[in-house]
């Protein structure tokens, strides 16, 4: 019965994947167009690209590891 | 969340802030990030509805949580947005001294809960902390604790709701009614549907969001400041003192540190009474650990939580310190944040002019604002905005986070508020159903009847919370009293639980009277100082003591008073037979033997690791 449930880590993975993809994509757009939000500091570091990328990777790992139907640790 | 320092009341911006231009402007990408969070939260609530049918499933999440989930939820239940913003503001004012509330004010108590107290809570199979008092002392102590706790929870939920609405107004310019309605409907839906399991899932989600949304701020801030060494140099250069970087060095006297506290108050009042009271007896947090799937997981959960608790200053205290030297005015000068008293004194009229120029001028005279900035404020207009200490974290977010990332940061704040409310109403519904409704109103209902009562109590609780939120909006002074409820209640409760758990001789009437008279004593002390603030010097034993010291010393005296009552009454009344104390009291309980596990899976091993890191950190920033 427990195996059929969706673990919390899957929800977290899903959310991180979506957020990571959105932020990463916007970071790439900013880097390509040079259209940065006014007033934001250190834009040259391209934080949305590496931070969004990190969230995306982490999310994908969690999605794969805790996908429903896979035999997991409890919830 | 509950903030035992008592400074939470000051996190609510005053009129000037409410009328000012919002700190941040969200782009469509940010709005999408926030909307996705709400969709996810509601999805989780509907998904978990099918798994929350019995009383144990609804009120205790089926006691199926792993140590990691229970541990993250345990620490997350205390990680509200007001706390994040309030302590970042405190770090801006007081420096690393504020970290004491995260380290000595939490870690020893969390370890004690896991190693020593958890077996009794868990083995007794109680569903709540008032439930434990019922088993140990009887119905009188349970009723006092349950009614006080339920009242506190529902009022705190209202305060959280209002505070969230005000912060959203100040940071984003959102309508206050909109924020209250959206957050309360979302919370009522997902907790009403999924019960504690839903609240726990969302707390874990919130924990991840907070780190994902806030961790980038200190990373980028440290980079810009030139690392830790660069930050120190800049602060010493700008503020001509290094006391911002010392945790204990300046606590030898009340006058030597800006917080106006003494190390005895920090160690005994905060580190023992308030911290142990909150982390080991407040049902809001203990409920998360009771949901663990076995005793070992229940003991590991607070220890896992303590690792993360020790790390939280990195995303709370550090942004406050960085804000001291990195925040800038539009003209490039260093931005100086001020207290709520200054923004209140400099309130604007409808024409955008300062209403009382003399009071405003006097209030600004007590700050480090430059003469040019003071002149701008007195001249009025949009460039004259003052920002408060508690806006340090949102201001730092706006400084470093662009579209998408800012949405994530704001989502983390919203998630913190909502899970705070969810924690309050889920704990309220359990205590209402099992400790008030069942024993006092309707004893012989079926399990499904109490689940229905629990679901209904969540809806009613949220409605009452909305009422409380609007009450606070009308009568701002109520905030102080609502937030004082926790600090008034916690010390006598700690005395009742500790003596009940570790002294076989403690009797039924001692538990009840210690708790009841202790609450009266603590409330009396609060009112006594409220009537004449100069009496703080008596309570805190020094004329140099500041309000921050009041809560810790009041808690200390209330604990001592309750302890004396319990001991004296116990000696004059008849104790329970030892046979009836099995599973409830140390020395009268045969704890279950746990299966052998390797060293790295033992709670003692990880508690020792936490202890070593805790001591090392304190020495590092002594």
Helix (H, G, I), strand (E, B) or coil at B338: strand
**Tokens for B307?**
């690792």
- pLDDT value of residue B62: 83
Put simply, whether B212 touches A (Cβ < 8 Å) is yes
Q: Does the interface ipTM go beyond 0.90? A: yes
- Of A18-27, B165-174, B596-605, the range with the highest mean pLDDT is A18-27
Q: Is residue B378 part of a domain?
A: yes
CB proximity list for B260: less than 8 A, separation 6 or greater: B254, B544, B545, B546, B547, B548, B549
pLDDT in tens, B193-252: 888 888 888 889 989 998 998 899 999 999 999 999 999 999 988 888 888 888 888 888
Domain range summary for chain A, segments of one domain joined by +:
8-65
Q: Describe the crossing of helices B405-431 and B176-214 by its angle, rounded to 10 degrees.
A: 110
Q: Is residue B534 part of a domain?
A: no
Residues B382, B394: one domain?
A: no
Out of B437, B467, B497, a domain closes at B467
Q: Please check whether residue B109 is in contact with residue B275, taking contact to mean a CB–CB distance below 8 angstroms.
A: yes
Residues B350, B410: one domain?
A: no
Q: Is residue B224 part of a domain?
A: yes
Please say if the pLDDT value at position B407 is more than 90: yes
Please say if the pLDDT value at position B408 is more than 90: yes
From the list B518, B392, B546, B489, the residue with the least C-alpha distance to B4 is B489
- Of A17-21, B176-180, B186-190, the range with the highest mean pLDDT is A17-21
Average pLDDT over residues B544-562: 83
- pLDDT value of residue B478: 64
**Tokens for B155?**
């009022």
Least-confidence region, from A12-26, A57-71, B579-593: B579-593
Residues B134, B220: one domain?
A: yes
With cut-offs at 50, 70 and 90, classify the pLDDT of residue B94.
confident
Q: Do A40 and B402 touch (CB under 8 A)?
A: yes
In angstroms, the CA B512 to CA B596 distance is 40
Residues B365, B412: one domain?
A: no
- pLDDT value of residue B6: 38
- pLDDT value of residue B479: 61
Least-confidence region, from B16-20, B309-313, B351-355, B508-512: B16-20
User: Which residues on chain A are in Cβ contact (under 8 Å) with B402?
Assistant: 26, 30, 36-37, 40, 43, 47-48
Name beta bridge partners: B65.
Answer: B292
Least-confidence region, from B136-140, B177-181, B407-411: B177-181
Average pLDDT over residues A37-42: 88
Helix (H, G, I), strand (E, B) or coil at B65: strand
**A interface test, pick of B61, B206, B208, B396 with most A CB neighbours within 10 Å:** B208
From the list B505, B506, B497, the residue with the least C-alpha distance to B142 is B497
Q: Do B204 and A55 touch (CB under 8 A)?
A: no
Q: Please check whether residue B40 is in contact with residue B268, taking contact to mean a CB–CB distance below 8 angstroms.
A: no
CB proximity list for B548: less than 8 A, separation 6 or greater: B5, B6, B7, B259, B260, B261
- pLDDT value of residue B384: 62
Name beta bridge partners: B338.
Answer: B388
In angstroms, the CA B130 to CA B124 distance is 12
With cut-offs at 50, 70 and 90, classify the pLDDT of residue B483.
low
Please say if the pLDDT value at position B11 is more than 50: no
Average pLDDT over residues A34-59: 93
Distance of CA B540 to the CA centre of its chain: 23
Average pLDDT over residues B458-477: 82
Say how many domains are in chain B. 2
Q: Is residue B203 part of a domain?
A: yes
- Encode burial over B265-274: b for 16+ CB neighbours within 10 A, e otherwise: bbbbbbbbbb
In angstroms, the CA B312 to CA B401 distance is 19
Residue B489 burial class via C-beta count within 10 angstroms: exposed 0-12, middle 13-18, buried 19 and up = buried
**B interface test, pick of A11, A18, A33 with most B CB neighbours within 10 Å:** A11
Q: Using CB atoms and an 8 Å cut-off, which of residues 29-58 of chain A contact chain B?
A: 30, 36-37, 39-43, 45, 47-48, 51-52, 55
Q: What is the pTM of this model?
A: 0.86
Residues B253, B345: one domain?
A: no
Q: Please check whether residue A48 is in contact with residue A26, taking contact to mean a CB–CB distance below 8 angstroms.
A: yes
Residues B394, B365: one domain?
A: no
User: Which residues on chain B are in Cβ contact (under 8 Å) with A22?
Assistant: 29, 32-33, 404
Q: Do A48 and B402 touch (CB under 8 A)?
A: yes
User: Which residues on chain B are in Cβ contact (under 8 Å) with A74?
Assistant: 64-66, 293
With cut-offs at 50, 70 and 90, classify the pLDDT of residue B359.
confident
CB proximity list for B263: less than 8 A, separation 6 or greater: B248, B251, B252
**Tokens for B393?**
């974290």
Q: Please check whether residue B491 is in contact with residue B558, taking contact to mean a CB–CB distance below 8 angstroms.
A: yes
Please say if the pLDDT value at position A69 is more than 60: yes
**Tokens for B325?**
């030297």
Residues B221, B369: one domain?
A: no
Average pLDDT over residues A17-36: 94
Residues B361, B425: one domain?
A: no
Residue B368, domain extent: 338-386
In angstroms, the CA B138 to CA B456 distance is 27
Helix (H, G, I), strand (E, B) or coil at B164: helix
Please say if the pLDDT value at position B259 is more than 50: yes
Phi, psi of B401, deg, nearest 5: -105, 120
Residues B178, B233: one domain?
A: yes
With cut-offs at 50, 70 and 90, classify the pLDDT of residue B381.
low
pLDDT in tens, B573-584: 999 998 888 888
Mean pLDDT of chain B, nearest integer: 86
Residues B123, B108: one domain?
A: yes
- pLDDT value of residue B616: 95
pLDDT in tens, B504-523: 999 999 999 999 999 999 99
- pLDDT value of residue B505: 94
The neighbour count for residue B354, using CB atoms within 10 Å, is 20
Out of B408, B432, B467, a domain closes at B467
């Amino acid at each position: 019965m427990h195996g059929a449930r969706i673990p919390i880590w899957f929800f977290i993975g899903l959310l991180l994947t979506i957020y990571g993809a959105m932020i990463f994509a916007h970071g790439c757009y900013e880097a390509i167009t040079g259209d940065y939000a006014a007033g934001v500091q250190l834009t040259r570091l391209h934080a949305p690209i590496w931070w969004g990328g990190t969230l995306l990777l982490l999310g994908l790992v969690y999605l794969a590891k805790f996908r429903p139907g896979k035999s997991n640790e409890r919830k | 969340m509950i903030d035992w320092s008592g400074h939470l009341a000051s996190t609510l911006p005053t009129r000037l802030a409410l009328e000012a231009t919002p700190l941040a402007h969200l782009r469509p990408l940010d709005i999408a990030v926030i909307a996705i969070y709400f969709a996810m939260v509601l999805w989780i609530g509907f998904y978990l509805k099918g798994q929350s049918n019995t009383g144990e499933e609804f009120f205790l999440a089926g006691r199926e949580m792993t140590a990691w989930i229970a541990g993250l939820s345990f620490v997350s239940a205390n990680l509200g947005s007001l706390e994040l913003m309030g302590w970042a503001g405190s770090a801006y004012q007081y420096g690393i001294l504020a970290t004491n509330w995260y380290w000595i004010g939490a870690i020893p108590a969390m370890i004690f809960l896991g190693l020593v107290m958890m077996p009794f809570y868990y083995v007794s199979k109680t569903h709540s902390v008032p439930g434990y008092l019922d088993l140990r002392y009887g119905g009188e102590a349970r009723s006092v604790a349950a009614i006080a706790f339920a009242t506190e929870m529902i009022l705190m939920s209202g305060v959280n709701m209002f505070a969230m609405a005000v912060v959203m107004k100040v940071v984003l310019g959102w309508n206050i009614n909109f924020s209250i309605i959206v957050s309360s409907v979302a919370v009522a839906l997902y907790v009403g549907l999924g019960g504690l399991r839903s609240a726990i899932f969302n707390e874990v989600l919130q924990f991840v969001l907070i780190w994902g949304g806030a961790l980038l701020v200190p990373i980028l801030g440290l980079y810009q400041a030139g690392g830790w060494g660069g930050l120190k140099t800049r602060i010493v250069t700008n503020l001509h003192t290094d006391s911002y970087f010392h945790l204990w060095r300046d606590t030898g006297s009340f006058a030597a540190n800006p917080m106006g506290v003494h190390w005895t108050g920090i160690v005994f009042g905060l580190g023992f009474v308030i911290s142990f009271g909150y982390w080991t007896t407040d049902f809001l947090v203990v409920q998360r650990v009771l949901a663990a799937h076995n005793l070992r997981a229940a003991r590991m959960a607070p220890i896992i939580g303590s690792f993360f608790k020790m790390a939280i200053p990195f995303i709370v205290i550090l942004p406050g310190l960085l804000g001291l030297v990195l925040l800038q005015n539009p003209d490039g000068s260093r931005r100086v944040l001020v207290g709520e008293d200054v923004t209140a004194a400099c309130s604007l009229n409808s024409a955008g002019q300062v209403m009382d120029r003399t009071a405003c001028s006097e209030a600004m005279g007590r700050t480090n604002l430059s003469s040019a900035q003071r002149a701008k404020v007195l001249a009025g207009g949009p460039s004259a905005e003052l920002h408060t200490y508690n806006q340090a974290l949102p201001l730092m977010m706006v400084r470093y986070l662009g579209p998408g990332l800012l949405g994530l940061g704001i989502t983390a704040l919203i998630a913190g508020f909502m899970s705070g409310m969810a924690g309050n109403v889920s704990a309220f519904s359990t205590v209402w159903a099992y400790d008030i409704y069942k024993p006092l109103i309707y004893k012989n209902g079926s399990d499904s009847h109490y689940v229905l009562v629990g679901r209904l109590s969540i809806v009613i609780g949220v409605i009452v919370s909305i009422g409380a939120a609007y009450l606070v909006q009308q009568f701002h002074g109520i905030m102080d009293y609502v937030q004082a409820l926790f600090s008034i209640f916690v010390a006598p409760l700690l005395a009742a639980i500790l003596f009940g758990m570790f002294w076989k001789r403690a009797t039924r009437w001692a538990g009840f009277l210690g708790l009841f008279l202790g609450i009266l004593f603590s409330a009396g002390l609060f009112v006594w100082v409220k009537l004449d603030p100069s009496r703080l010097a008596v309570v805190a034993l020094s004329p140099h003591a500041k309000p921050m010291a009041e809560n810790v010393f009041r808690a200390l005296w209330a604990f001592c008073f309750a302890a004396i009552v319990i001991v004296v009454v116990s000696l004059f009344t008849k104790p329970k037979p030892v046979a009836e104390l099995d599973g409830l009291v140390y020395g009268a309980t045969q704890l279950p033997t746990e299966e052998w596990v390797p060293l790295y899976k033992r709670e003692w091993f990880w508690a020792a690791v936490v202890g070593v890191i805790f001591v090392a950190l304190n020495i590092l920033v002594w």
